[in-house]
Amino acid sequence: MAIPPVSGSESAAVTSNDEAAFDVAVQNAQENQGSEMTPELEDMMIEGAITIGGQMIIMPRANDILNEAMSDE
């Protein structure tokens, strides 16, 4: 089955709709910057930070320790 070649010129073009949507999102973020963080949001962010910390810091080291313990040396 033949597949037509892909040209990079079409995929790199930014449409005015995309740019307008981005500008609206930036404007909304700037307007809501002074709003207070709710306790629920704070709890979710703390839980997410702990999860990410475990995945990026603790688990690779635990995997190394397990591999050393299981090696024949």
| Percentage of residues of the chain with pLDDT beyond 70 | 82
pLDDT at residue number 72? 72
**pLDDT category of residue 30 using cuts at 50, 70 and 90:** confident
Domain that holds residue 26: 17-71
Alpha-carbon distance values, 42 to 45, 54, 56 (Å): 5, 18, 21
Tokens of 39: 């306790």
Tell me how many domains the chain contains.
1
Q: Can you tell me the distance from the alpha carbon of 63 to that of 66, in angstroms, rounded to the nearest whole number?
A: 5
Model-level pTM?
Answer: 0.40
Q: Is residue 26 part of a domain?
A: yes
pLDDT at 12 over 90: no
Q: Is residue 1 part of a domain?
A: no
Q: Is residue 61 part of a domain?
A: yes
DSSP helix/strand/coil, 18:
helix
pLDDT at residue number 22? 92
pLDDT at 53 over 80: yes
Phi and psi at 65, nearest 5°, equal -60, -45
